[in-house]
Amino acid sequence: MTSSSLALYHGDVKRWQAMSTRAYVLLDIADGKSEQVAKALEGMPGVMMTDLLEGPPDVIVVLEAFERPTLAELTIQALTSVETAIKSVCLLPTQDG
């Protein structure tokens, strides 16, 4: 990748970050179900990443959408699909940051 295309790529990433909003969801999952939950969430709309943690929490989910109302809907869909969640915490970055 040339330096000019690298600069263009970084500009595109910054533009995407400026247009999108993100939620971080921390999940405590019933014993033995964390991997199953992470894999199921990976295919859901808005889910950009899932990771298993040495919890609790057991799983972190990163969701993204262009607008906060859409992000809220996608987050609710993801959370309601997890029947084995014992506890969930949703973190939203400030709109200024």
Please give the residue that has the higher pLDDT: either 8 or 92.
Answer: 92
What pLDDT, in 10s, does the model give residues 41-81? Answer: 998 999 999 999 997 899 999 999 999 999 999 999 999 99
Q: Are strands 21-29 and 59-65 parallel, antiparallel or unpaired?
A: antiparallel
Q: What is the mean pLDDT of the chain?
A: 82
Domains of the chain and any CATH numbers:
21-91 (3.30.70.920)
Residue 3: predicted pLDDT: 46
Q: 1 pLDDT exceeds 70? A: no
